[in-house]
Amino acid sequence: MKRIAGIALSVALLLVAVLAVAEGTPSWMPEWDRDADVVVVGFGPAGAMAAKAAKENGASTIIVEKASKEFAGGSAPSSMGFIKPYTVDEIFASAEGRLTQDEAQKLFDKENELLNWLTDNGLKITNSTSEGYGMGFYKAVVANIEAMGIEVLYETPAVKLISDPQTKEVFGVQCTQADGSDLFVRANKGVILCTGGYAANKDLMTRFHFADMIDYALAGAPTQTGDGLLMALEAGAALDGVSNQQIEWYGYSYKKASDEMGTAILHMAPSLGPDSRIFVNTKGERFMDEEMYIVHSKCQMPFLAYDGTFPIYNGYFNLPMYVIFDEAMFEAGPIGPRDYWCGYASMYNLYNWSEDNQAELEKGWFVKADTIEELVEKLAAQSGNEPIDVENLKKTIETYNAGCAETNDAFGRSEFYLDPIGEGPYYAAQILPTMVYTIGGLQGGPNGETLDWQGNPIPRLYHAGDVGQPTKILIAALQGALALGDTAGTACSQLESH
DSSP readout, 62-130?
EEE-SS-GGG-STTGGGS--B-----HHHHHHHTTTSS-HHHHHHHHHHHHHHHHHHHHTT--EETTEE
Span 126-133, average pLDDT: 94
Q: Give me the pLDDT at residue 313, please.
A: 60
- pLDDT for residue 214: 73
Q: What whole-number distance in Å separates Cα of residue 102 and Cα of residue 108?
A: 10
Cα–Cα distance measured from residue 424 to residue 216, given in angstroms and rounded to the nearest whole number: 29
Q: What angle do CA 143, 146, 152 make, to 5 degrees?
A: 120
Per-residue pLDDT averaged across 171-188, rounded? 98
Please give the pLDDT value at position 9.
Answer: 42
**What whole-number percentage of the chain has pLDDT above 70?**
93
Q: Residue 105 in contact with residue 88, Cβ under 8 Å?
A: yes
> 132-136, 244-248, 329-333, 393-397 — which is least confidently predicted?
244-248
Identify the pLDDT of residue 25: 84
Please state the separation of Cα 71 from the chain's center in Å: 14
Task: Work out whether strand 217-218 and strand 367-369 pair parallel, antiparallel, or are unpaired.
Answer: unpaired
Closest CA to 442 of 79, 191, 163: 191
CB crowding 12-34: b at 16 or more within 10 Å, else e: eeeeeeeeeeeeeeeeeeeeeee
Q: Could you read off the pLDDT of 72-102 as tens digits, one per residue? A: 999 999 999 999 878 899 888 888 888 899 9
> What DSSP line would sit under 252-289, residue for residue?
EEEHHHHHHHTS--B----TTS---EEEE-TTS-B-S-
| Cis bond before residue 30 (omega within 30° of 0) | no
**pLDDT given at position 244:** 78
> Residue 67 to residues 35, 114, 265, 273: CA-CA distances in angstroms?
21, 25, 21, 39
- The pLDDT score that the predictor gives to residue 474 is 57
Mean pLDDT, the chain, whole residue set: 91
Whether residue 23 is predicted with pLDDT greater than 70 in this model: the reply is: no
Is the model more confident about 207 or about 183? 183
Residue 173 has pLDDT above 70, yes or no: yes
- With 0-12 / 13-18 / 19 or more C-beta atoms within 10 angstroms meaning exposed / middle / buried, residue 151 is middle
Please tell me which residue, 18 or 447, carries the higher pLDDT value: 447
Beta pairing partners, 186: 35, 172
Could you tell me the pLDDT band of residue 138, with boundaries at 50, 70 and 90?
Answer: very high
Task: Please give the C-alpha separations between residue 331 and each of 261, 275, 285, 302, 354, in angstroms, as whole numbers.
Answer: 24, 11, 25, 29, 12
| CA nearest neighbour of 53 among 65, 40, 44, 42 | 40
Which residues share a beta bridge with 114?
none
Kindly report, residue by residue over 356-395, the tens digit of the pLDDT: 999 999 999 999 999 999 999 999 999 999 999 999 999 9
How many Å apart are CA 182 and CA 321, to the nearest integer? 44
Query: Does position 11 have pLDDT exceeding 60, yes or no?
Result: no
Domains of the chain: 34-201+223-229+440-493 (3.50.50.60), 246-436 (3.90.700.10)
CB 69, CB 178: distance < 8 Å: no
Q: How far apart are CA 205 and CA 333, in angstroms?
A: 35
Q: What is the mean pLDDT of residues 422-448?
A: 94
Q: pLDDT band at 310, cuts 50/70/90?
A: low
Max CA separation in the chain (angstroms): 114
Instruction: Give the model's confidence band at 442: pLDDT under 50 very low, under 70 low, under 90 confident, else very high.
Output: very high
What's the alpha-carbon Rg for the chain, to the nearest Å?
27
| pTM of the entire predicted model | 0.91
Q: What is the pLDDT of residue 17?
A: 39
Q: What is the DSSP letter of 387?
A: P
Per-residue pLDDT at 269 exceeds 90: yes
pLDDT at 200 exceeding the cut of 90:
yes
Q: CB count, 10 Å around CB of 158?
A: 26
- How confident is the model over 205-263, as pLDDT tens digits? 988 888 776 789 999 999 999 999 999 999 999 999 888 778 889 999 999 999 999 99
Smallest CA-to-CA distance from 477 within 152, 114, 76 is with: 76
Pairing of strands 321-326, 239-240: unpaired
**Cα distance between residue 227 and residue 66, in whole Å:** 10
Whether residue 482 contacts residue 114, with contact meaning beta carbons closer than 8 Å, is answered with yes
**Is the peptide bond prior to 320 cis by the omega test (within 30 degrees of 0)?**
yes
Are residues 8 and 2 in contact, defined by beta-carbon separation less than 8 angstroms? Answer: no
Assess whether pLDDT exceeds 70 at residue 483: yes
Q: For position 300, what pLDDT does the model report? A: 82
Distance separating alpha carbons of residues 292 and 272, to the nearest angstrom: 18
Residue whose C-alpha is closest to residue 200's, from 73, 45, 75: 75
CA distance linking residue 286 with residue 308, whole number of Å: 20
Exposure letters 361-387 (e unless 16+ CB within 10 A, then b): beeebbbbbeebebbbbbbeebbebeb
